């Protein structure tokens, strides 16, 4: 007698491309009457138009110590290399649990619509001692060829084994003999709740991922909170693995690691990717699915994408991501897709993988060192010749499933390090602007599309040291690149969407174009002392010299005492005519004089700076001027600081009358 109400048909569904296996783990049958029901579970295997039932636990051992509570089909998978199926029955043998595997062809040929069917090539785990009761072997299952013998091996999670620490068991695909165990590190974390096998680091060896959705971790306040965790065991071959890497959830009570799906290579970078669900994550606890890209060192801990559950349920949590399956190209666009179960909302959601466009952007500047004296380009407006250089930019793009031509928007920005337009030193020759935009059409998978622009130096600018930065940014016109169903492609996120190159202004700095000045400074006052109560005129005689290579944006900084004011620059045949002005720096009054841009090597500047010193008090004993040469060079950009100190005196005029 069969009982199919509330049998959970569809709780486990898998396909190998040719066959579909769908199971009902709470299916019940009875050989004694209505009062005796055994939840043995059952499955249905389909190929083309042929559907057969497969119920390996519906046997004569229908008691709790046998297979009476087996719940076959709680977890399922196909072994493509072995042409077999495997089902987990966590309720067999007083809930020790069981794995059962049979040949696909034999399931079809032996089907006779009978309650009990015997198979000749069955592989199954056996009953163990009482200490293994309530372990739930078969709770989760996956397969992979871990020893590279051409036969896939069995992996099953046992989340309540090892005194509730949980463990994962790998069985040899030839004979179902136990080979390797991994034990959890935290009691009741449900280590083994989910398992997945795939090569995430592209070394040709199968890796294993194990979920523990109840794992507790310490949060910012030091308290333990349920976060969920996935352990990643990178394969070393021959059933040997590296120590596990840990991926830990970020949402409390989200149950990160409840389901793990091997996705295949989503972005076509050569590394298989994985999806990890947190079915109660998100602000509204409707569920999240994290996409982790494969990398040479293992899965990237930072997800490249997070899918959010958007389906509500009135009677229970939506549980978006409670089950998942991937690595099947459903829409035939060349990329594997993902199906996410939302059982609380009675939905299964298909996420189609978008075509990934790989872009190679190049930017070249010729020449990279610009001589301001070489003026080879004719200005289109003034007709004068200007110093210029050429900017060549190219785009090469390719993507499986993308259109034959791809449309990009390219933006060029000159002298990007200069934020103000007035300080930018270069402009595009045609247009006289510092930015340029262009639509470019690139052939998918073919040679690069290239264009050129000429850029010229403006006449007047001070900064000759800082490199001239040219930036190129590009973006895809997604609407024009959509496929026939409207699915939009995406640019490979691992490749930057901008390129920057630099040009340098030719300096008087030798072969390396790096200036190292040698700045010397001396100062002498024309007065030995000044007087309190008088309006004292004071002149500082300055000698500034560069005995090295060119000093760019060279300035003389004079730090004034509070009692002094700058009044002007002395004139004379032997004196340099400096341009000086007041400036405040960090609330300090100073005078800044321009020494040249550049102040060439061998230059010597003689100058006289005039000041008025007043408002002196009896508490003052001297006035001090600090002076220093400052340049914008990378090396040796200042001179030693020098000082001029003038003493104060009291001048008294005494007259006696009698």
DSSP-assigned letters across all residues of 259-319: -EEEEE-SSSSSS-EEEEEETT-STTSS-EEEEE---TTSS-SS-SEEEE-----SSS---
Distance between alpha carbon 564 and the CA centroid of its chain, in Å? 57
- Specify the 3-state DSSP secondary structure of 521: strand
- Is residue 410 in a domain? yes
Residue 271 lies in a domain: no
- 223-236 in b/e burial notation, b at 16+ Cβ within 10 A? eeebbbbbbbbbbe
Together in a domain, 560 and 431: no
**134 and 21, same structural domain?**
yes
Within a domain: residue 314?
no
- Give the CATH number for residue 389: 2.60.40.1460
Instruction: Provide the pLDDT for residue 643.
Output: 95
State mean pLDDT over 331-342.
92
**The pLDDT value given to residue 559:** 93
Band of residue 459 on the pLDDT scale cut at 50, 70, 90: confident
The reply to whether 458 and 532 lie within a common domain is: no
Is residue 73 included in any domain, yes or no?
yes
- Identify whether residues 493 and 533 lie together within a single domain: no
Q: What is the pTM of this model?
A: 0.77
**The predicted structure's pLDDT at residue 286:** 93
Span 368-404, pLDDT tens digits = 889 888 999 999 999 999 999 999 999 999 988 888 8
Residue 179 tokens, joined: 């080979």
551 and 457 in one domain?
no
Report d(CA 574, CA 515) in Å as an integer: 28
The whole-number pLDDT of residue 200 equals 97
Q: Which of these three, 120, 138, 156, is where a domain ends? A: 138
pLDDT band at 496 (very low <50, low <70, confident <90, very high): confident
Q: What does the pLDDT read at residue 472? A: 96
Whether residues 620 and 539 fall in one domain? yes
Determine the Cα–Cα distance for residues 481 and 333; give it in Å rounded to an integer.
14
Q: Identify the pLDDT of residue 316.
A: 84
Domain boundary among 74, 108, 138: 138
Number of domains in the chain: 3
The model's pLDDT over 229-278, given as tens digits with 9 standing for 90+, comes to 999 999 999 899 999 999 999 999 999 999 999 999 999 999 999 999 99
Its domain, for residue 14, covers 1-138
Vertex 483, ends 478 and 488: CA angle to 5°? 35
The CATH number of whichever domain residue 597 belongs to comes to 2.60.40.1510
| pLDDT given at position 338 | 96
Q: Which pLDDT belongs to residue 591?
A: 94
């Amino acid at each position: 007698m069969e009982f199919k109400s509330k049998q959970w048909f569809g709780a486990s569904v898998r396909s190998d491309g040719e066959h579909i296996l769908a199971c009902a783990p709470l299916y019940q049958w009875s050989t004694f009457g209505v009062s005796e029901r055994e939840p043995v579970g059952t499955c249905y295997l389909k190929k083309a138009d042929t559907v057969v039932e497969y119920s390996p636990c519906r046997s004569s051992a229908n008691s709790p110590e046998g297979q009476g509570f087996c719940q076959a089909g709680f977890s399922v998978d196909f072994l493509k290399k072995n042409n077999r199926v495997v089902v987990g029955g966590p309720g067999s043998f007083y809930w020790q649990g069981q794995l059962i595997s049979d040949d696909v062809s034999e399931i079809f040929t032996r089907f006779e619509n009978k309650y009990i069917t015997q198979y000749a090539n069955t592989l199954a785990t056996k009953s163990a001692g009482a200490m293994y009761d309530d372990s739930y072997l078969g709770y989760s299952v996956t397969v992979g060829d871990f020893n590279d013998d051409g036969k896939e091996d069995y992996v099953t999670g046992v989340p309540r084994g090892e005194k509730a620490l949980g463990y994962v068991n790998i069985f040899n695909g030839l004979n179902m003999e136990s080979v390797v165990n991994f034990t959890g590190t935290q009691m009741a974390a449900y280590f083994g709740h989910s398992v997945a096998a795939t090569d995430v680091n592209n070394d040709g060896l199968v890796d294993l991922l194990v979920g523990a959705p109840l794992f507790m971790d310490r949060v910012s306040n030091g308290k333990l909170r349920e976060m969920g965790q996935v352990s990643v065991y990178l394969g070393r071959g021959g059933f040997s693995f590296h120590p596990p890497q840990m991926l830990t959830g970020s949402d409390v009570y989200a149950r990160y690691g409840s389901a793990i799906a091997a996705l295949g290579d989503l972005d076509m970078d050569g590394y298989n990717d994985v999806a990890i669900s947190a079915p109660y994550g998100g602000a509204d606890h409707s569920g999240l699915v994290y996409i982790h890209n494969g990398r040479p060192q293992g899965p990237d801990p930072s997800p490249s994408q997070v899918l959010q559950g958007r389906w509500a349920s009135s009677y229970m949590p939506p549980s978006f991501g409670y089950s998942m399956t991937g690595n099947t190209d459903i829409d035939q666009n060349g990329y594997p897709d993902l199906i996410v179960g939302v059982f609380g909302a009675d939905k299964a959601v298909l996420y189609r993988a978008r075509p990934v466009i790989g872009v190679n952007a190049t930017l070249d500047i010729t020449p990279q060192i610009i001589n301001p004296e070489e003026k080879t380009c004719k200005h289109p407006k003034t007709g004068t010749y200007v110093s210029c250089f050429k900017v060549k930019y190219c785009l090469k793009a390719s993507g499986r499933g993308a259109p034959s031509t791809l449309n990009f928007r390219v933006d060029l920005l000159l002298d990007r390090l200069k934020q103000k337009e007035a300080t930018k030193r270069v402009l595009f020759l045609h247009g006289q602007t510092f930015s340029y935009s262009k639509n470019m059409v690139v052939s998918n998978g073919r040679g690069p599309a290239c264009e050129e622009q000429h850029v010229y130096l403006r006449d007047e600018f001070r900064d000759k040291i800082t490199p001239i930065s040219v930036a190129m940014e590009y973006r895809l016109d997604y609407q024009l690149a959509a496929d026939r169903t409207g699915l939009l492609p995406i640019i490979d996120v691992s490749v930057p969407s901008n390129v920057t190159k630099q040009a340098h202004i030719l300096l008087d700095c030798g072969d390396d174009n790096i200036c190292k000045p040698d700045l010397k400074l001396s100062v002498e006052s024309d007065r030995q002392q000044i007087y309190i109560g008088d309006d004292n005129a004071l002149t500082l005689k300055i000698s500034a010299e560069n005995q090295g290579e060119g000093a760019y944006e060279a300035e003389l900084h004079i730090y004034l005492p509070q009692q002094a004011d700058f009044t002007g620059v002395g004139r004379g045949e032997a004196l340099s005519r400096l341009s000086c002005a007041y400036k405040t720096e960090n609330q300090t009054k100073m005078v800044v004089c321009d020494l040249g841009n550049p102040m060439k090597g061998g230059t010597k500047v003689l100058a006289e700076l005039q000041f008025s010193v007043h408002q002196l008090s009896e508490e003052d004993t001297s006035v001090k001027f600090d002076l220093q040469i400052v340049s914008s060079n990378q090396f040796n950009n200042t001179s030693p600081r020098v000082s001029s100190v003038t003493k104060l005196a009291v001048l008294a005029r005494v007259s006696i009358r009698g």
